[in-house]
């Protein structure tokens, strides 16, 4: 369905009921709002894995503006501030109170924008395979460690000066190192890909290179679960540690998962979903 938010319509899908019978009463499950990676992707990578959380949460998917099936709006509004405002606006439109917001990869940037702009709104925050500030040299070094100098060179060529041609080469050569386990090719084919959105945001000269949430993360007031993969080429351990260090120490839990890359839920689904389930259930 399409939901009107901040002057555009966002594509939203809902996995299950939020209010369910429980004996002689009705039980309200928490809303788990999933923010997909990219930019330039859609929510489809969450399906069908996250449907398994239907017993503990109402799972809500959204395509960000300029991504997937959502409307573009004015491209000057393709910013983390606007994407963060859209999360709050969507929650208002759907009547979501104290949602659990999970941001994966680039969706984690959006989640940080939302949580630092509206610190009293989220009930809980989950930041998966994401950064408060991108460390490009560390990315190139990690790709070199995982794939050798040619892979590091292709990663550096794309991230320092993104173009559609370099992005295609990056996807062929570097993206396979995102995971420790093979990915189902059908899963990749299902994704609605938008190169223009990625090229608008990615790289040191664009907002990706300018963003730094570390000074603002101290405002976060809800419990936060940070999850990272030990072998993630995009978010090396030092980057995850810097994100965790910027959050209030009494509110953050950090889990670095061994033998995992960027896609934790693909590389170690039982462990990753177990951690997420425990966090959802914790008061």
Mean pLDDT, rounded, for 170-182: 93
Position 217 scores a pLDDT of 98
Mean pLDDT, rounded, for 242-265: 96
Mean pLDDT, rounded, for 106-111: 98
pLDDT digits (tens, 9 = 90+) for 193-246: 999 999 999 999 999 999 999 999 999 999 999 999 999 999 999 999 999 999
Establish if 235 belongs to a structural domain.
Answer: yes
Position 189 scores a pLDDT of 86
Establish if 169 belongs to a structural domain.
Answer: no
Mean pLDDT, rounded, for 124-143: 97
Mean pLDDT, rounded, for 153-179: 96
Q: Is the pLDDT of residue 177 over 90?
A: yes
pLDDT digits (tens, 9 = 90+) for 39-59: 999 999 999 999 999 999 999
Establish if 106 belongs to a structural domain.
Answer: yes
Establish if 25 belongs to a structural domain.
Answer: yes
Answer yes or no: are the C-beta atoms of 200 and 75 closer than 8 Å.
Answer: yes
Position 160 scores a pLDDT of 96
Position 59 scores a pLDDT of 98
Q: How far is CA 64 from the centre of its chain?
A: 11
Position 184 scores a pLDDT of 80
Mean pLDDT, rounded, for 91-117: 98
Q: What is the domain-level CATH number for residue 257?
A: 3.40.50.1820
Q: Is the pLDDT of residue 187 over 90?
A: no
What is the number of structural domains in the chain? 1
What phi, psi does 261 have (nearest 5°)? -105, -140
Domain range for 59: 2-134+183-281
Establish if 159 belongs to a structural domain.
Answer: no
pLDDT digits (tens, 9 = 90+) for 56-95: 999 999 999 999 999 999 999 999 999 999 999 999 999 9
Answer yes or no: are the C-beta atoms of 151 and 169 closer than 8 Å.
Answer: no
Position 255 scores a pLDDT of 97
Taking Cα atoms as reference points, which of 262, 256, 258 lies closest to residue 226?
256
- Percent of the chain surpassing pLDDT 70: 100
Dist. CA 274–CA 46, nearest whole Å: 16
Establish if 140 belongs to a structural domain.
Answer: no
In this structure, the number of other CB atoms found within 10 A of the CB of residue 89 comes to 19
pTM of the model: 0.97
Establish if 161 belongs to a structural domain.
Answer: no
Averaged pLDDT score across all residues of the chain: 96
Establish if 222 belongs to a structural domain.
Answer: yes
Q: Is the pLDDT of residue 250 over 90?
A: yes
Dist. CA 131–CA 133, nearest whole Å: 5
């Amino acid at each position: 369905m399409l939901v009107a938010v901040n002057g555009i319509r966002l594509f939203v899908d809902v996995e299950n009921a939020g209010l369910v019978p429980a004996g002689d009463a009705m039980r309200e499950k928490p809303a788990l709002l999933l923010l997909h990676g990219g930019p330039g992707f859609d929510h489809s990578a969450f399906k069908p894995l996250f449907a398994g959380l239907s017993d503990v949460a109402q799972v809500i998917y959204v395509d960000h503006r300029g991504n997937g099936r959502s409307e573009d709006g004015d491209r000057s509004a393709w910013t983390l501030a606007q994407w963060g405002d859209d999360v709050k606006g969507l929650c208002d439109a759907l009547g979501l109170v104290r949602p659990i917001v999970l941001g994966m990869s680039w969706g984690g940037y959006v989640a940080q924008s939302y949580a630092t702009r509206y610190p009293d709104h989220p009930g809980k925050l989950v930041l998966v395979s994401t950064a408060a500030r991108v460390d490009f040299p560390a990315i190139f070094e990690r790709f070199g460690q995982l794939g050798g100098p040619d892979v590091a060179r292709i990663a550096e060529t794309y991230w320092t000066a993104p173009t559609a041609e370099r992005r295609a080469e990056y996807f062929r050569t570097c993206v396979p190192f995102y995971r420790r386990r093979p990915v189902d090719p059908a899963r990749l084919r299902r994704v609605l890909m938008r190169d223009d959105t990625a090229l608008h945001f990615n790289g040191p000269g664009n907002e990706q290179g300018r963003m730094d949430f570390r000074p603002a993360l101290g405002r976060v007031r809800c419990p936060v679960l940070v999850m990272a993969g030990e072998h993630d080429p995009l978010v090396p351990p030092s980057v995850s540690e810097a994100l965790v260090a910027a959050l209030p120490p009494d509110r953050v839990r950090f889990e670095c998962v061994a033998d995992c890359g960027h896609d934790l839920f693909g590389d170690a689904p039982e462990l990753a979903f177990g951690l997420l389930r425990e966090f959802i259930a914790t008061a």
